[in-house]
Structure 1
Amino acid sequence: MSPGLNSIFLEEIRSQPEVLARRLESGWAEVEEVAARIRRQRPAALLLAARGSSDHAATYAKYLFEIRNRLPVALAAPSAFTLYGSPPRLEGLAVLAISQSGASPDVAAVVEEARRQSRPAFAIVNERASRLGRAADVVVPMGAGRERSVPASKTYTASLLCLAMLSWALDPDPDFRAAIESLPCAAAAALESDAGRLAEAVEGRRLAAIGRGYHLATAQEVALKVTETSYLLAEARSVADFMHGPIAAVDPELPVLLLEAAGPARADMRRLGRRLEEQGVCVLRIGDRLRPEARSVRVRTGLPEALTPIPFAVAGQLFGEPLPYVKTT
């Protein structure tokens, strides 16, 4: 990525507190309408459709809705609807699509098929007038404005915000609502985390990003940002999956980024970190309970674990942004 393009990416990263605040100020009417329709329909599960960064948002949604709302979630295989022309029966399901542009034919086809089968279909999208926006029963706008950088930043965190708002609307709780309202401040704090300095420790052409639970999505998104900005081969894994096979391929030339949020998954992340360090691996950490050190960054969030993927994503973007300069100096 050229320095000019990367400077635009950095500008977009820095705009996220304002984008999140603007989305909150625009109101909750759309998410409350989606929640009301879901409650009326009482679907057995929610089918999510997405591509790219939005697919990572869908991973977050899977954990969010299943843990907080006890609503089963499945991820659609959009190619079944388009390439193979054999969409599944959607009886008993509600469909939620997530897309920055709303122009992906695969994602729009899932919503259009849901409408053909008389199933409720909703969309979280940045472009309301897109094919996806036109197809959905109700559109929840991201309100992020035009994404000028090829690596998405503000539309990703805006989509996570919309999902958190929908989770609250399905099961209102004053503490969770207050935490959502504080997300712009948490994103601003993440901008002060100095996560970009971790890039200096990355050598070679590979990187592993590891998370679990809510932060599997963060690992996926950080790996994509690293690949898009610096052309490293970055792969995301759940710590549980990583320990059952891929860890055998680890060597001192493979830096590993661990996403350590306070919660049930942190103990597993700590155990993995110790094991990797014993093998001489360069272990980098982003977490909310860490001591700031040369290879670790603390992101002060003050949030419940379910909302930490937003400030963690901001820190992950800051980590990926300077990598092209580090790799060429």
Structure 2
Amino acid sequence: MPSSIDRPEPLMLQEARQTPDVIARQLVENAEAAGALARVLRDRRPPYAVTIARGSSDHACTVLKYALETELSLPVASLGPSVHTLYGTRLDLKGALVIAVSQSGASPDVVENVRMAREGGALTVALVNVEDSDLAQAAEFVLPLRCGEEKAVAATKSYLASLTAFLPVIAELSSDGKLKEALNNLPDALRRTLELEDAANALAARYSFAQNLLVLARGLHYGVAQEAALKLKETSGIHAEAYSAAEFSHGPKRLLAEGLPVLGFASNDAAWPATEAAYADLRTGGADLRTLGPAAGSTLRTPTTGHALTDTVPSALAFYLFAAHLALGRGLDPDSPPLLSKVTKTR
């Protein structure tokens, strides 16, 4: 769909619209690798898992953490890469499942931590888009994102592919037939999500002059809220912060007195009743709150997929449509955020 600005459509929108085909390709081409990894994990049941990532990839790891914990009862922690690369500590990760997520696979700190973990006896897995990258070579197992080249500075299809890459492994290990069915149907759900672009544009118009924005969610959608806050900073220069809907009342709620608007993610899972009650309380207190997600009554309601784990993907895709049009509506180019580049290499 053409934007309202007389300029070529941003790569961010073009690449976001590729997501249904990306996920369909990933599910087919990764089937053998996902099955092999699931068999190894059955035989080498890890006592816990850790994730290694930065930026959007780390937000995907937040979603993955909830997925592994709720479906497999596997505790998950986020590893601080600098503990090894800057402080020189070699963590004892023997027997652990170590999952690194990266679009480029080029950041030295992520690569070095995976090498350390593998040398120490961890089972290492890379979710990476560049299949001949240093990260892919460092890990024992690789689940490619299958995105093709991603040119936009603001990641879209690579983040969404990071959400789905490990789900077939979880489906195998949990024998969850509903998750397998939801994964098979996900590309069609994402195509229906793209039909919401006009509605996402209309919602974005409400925030054309916002300088600050609070983003709330809970459970599986919390990693999507983290990603949303980052994208609002990157593409529109909005000072956006993500909070758990459960934690928001512990102090950050004070910001509502300053008139800050709120965007809440509305899931369709076990976290929703508590989240819905929190949102109702905020509205009673006068909060300017709009919602996005598969829950009934959402301001921008996304398609349900048949499983809570896969529901996060249409929510994130719909948000990307919202964010791109918000930037365009503010007269900005989401492909050219000041001071940023596509690949950031940290040590």
TM over 0.5: yes
- Root-mean-square deviation over aligned CA pairs: 1.9
CA displacement at 1:290 relative to structure 2: 3.0
- Tell me, what secondary structure is at the counterpart of 2:143? strand
Structure 1 residue 266: Cα displacement: 1.5
The answer on whether the counterparts of 1:62 and 1:73 sit within 8 Å (CA) in structure 2 is yes
- Tell whether 2:183 aligns with 1:185: no
Match in the other structure for 1:237: 243
3-state SS of the aligned residue for 1:240? coil
Counterpart check, 1:195 vs 2:208: no
> What TM-score, normalized to structure 1?
0.93
- Larger RCO (alpha carbons 8 Å, 6+ apart): 2
Identity of aligned residues (%): 36
Q: What is the CA–CA distance in structure 2 between the aligned matches of 1:143 and 1:172, rounded to whole Å?
A: 25
Distance 1:27 1:123, change over 3 A: closer
Instruction: Give the aligned residue type for 2:48.
Output: A
**Residue correspondences, number:** 325
Residue 128 (structure 1) aligns with: 131
State the partner residue of 2:22. Answer: 19
Alpha-carbon shift at residue 252 of structure 1 (Å): 5.9
CA contact (8 A) 1:252 1:281 kept: no
Output the CA distance in 1 between the equivalents of 2:192 and 2:161. 17
Match of 1:81 in 2: 84
Inter-partner Cα distance in structure 1 for 2:97 and 2:210: 44
Q: Deviations over 1:238-295 (max 9, x none)?
A: 1011121101121363111111111222123222322322333221111223346xxx
Q: Which residue of 2 aligns with 1:115?
A: 118
Q: What is the 5 A alignment of 1:179-328?
A: 179-193=182-196, 194-202=199-207, 203-251=209-257, 253-291=259-297, 296-328=299-331
Instruction: Please give the secondary structure, in 2, of the residue aligned with 1:80.
Output: helix
Normalization by structure 2: what TM-score? 0.89
Whole-angstrom CA distance in 2 between matches of 1:95 and 1:119: 6
8 Å Cα contact 2:94/2:117 also seen in 1: no
In 1, distance between residues paired with 2:296 and 2:6? 31
Q: Which amino acid aligns with 1:101?
A: S
Q: Deviations over 1:155-205 (max 9, x none)?
A: 111111112112112223322211111111111111122223211111331
Aligned counterparts of 1:48 and 1:324: Cα–Cα separation in 2 = 31
Q: Please tell me whether residue 105 in structure 1 is matched to residue 129 in structure 2.
A: no
- CA distance in 1 between partners of 2:72 and 2:112 (Å): 27
CA displacement, residues 276-327 of structure 1 (integer Å, 9 cap, x when unaligned) = 22333221111223346xxx11112232112111110001111111112333
Matches within 5 A, 1:29-178: 29-178=32-181
Q: Is the 8 A contact 2:178 2:307 kept in 1?
A: no
Cα–Cα, structure 1 residues 212 and 3, in superposed 2: closer, same or farther, change >3 Å?
Answer: farther
Write the distance in 2 (CA, Å) between the matches of 1:325 and 1:179.
Answer: 33
| Structure-2 change in CA distance of 1:43 and 1:302 (3 Å) | closer
1:322 is paired with a residue whose SS is: helix
Return the letter of the residue paired with 1:199. Answer: A
Q: 1:6 offset after TM fit, Å?
A: 6.2
- Residue 246 of structure 2 aligns to a residue in which SS? helix
What are the Cα deviations for residues 114-133 of structure 1, in whole angstroms up to 9, with x where unaligned?
12212221111101111100
Answer yes or no: is the 8 Å Cα contact 1:255–1:282 preserved in 2: yes
CA distance in 2, matches of 1:210, 1:27: 33
Find the aligned partners of 2:28 and 2:313 in 1 and give their Cα distance.
18
Q: Which moved more, 1:299-308 or 1:4-13?
A: 4-13
Aligned partners of 1:115, 1:302: CA distance in 2, in Å?
A: 36
Amino acid at match of 1:81: H
Q: Which runs of 5+ in 1 are unaligned?
A: none
Tell me how far apart the structure 2 counterparts of residues 122 and 68 of structure 1 sit (CA, whole Å): 19
Q: Give, in whole Å, the separation in 1 of the partners of 2:206 and 2:237.
A: 16
Q: Does the CA-based 8 Å contact 2:245-2:278 persist in structure 1?
A: yes
Task: Decide whether the 8 Å contact of 2:72 with 2:170 is kept in 1.
Answer: yes
C-alpha distance in structure 2 between counterparts of 1:4 and 1:164, whole Å: 38
Stretches of structure 2 that go unaligned for 5 or more consecutive residues are 333-347
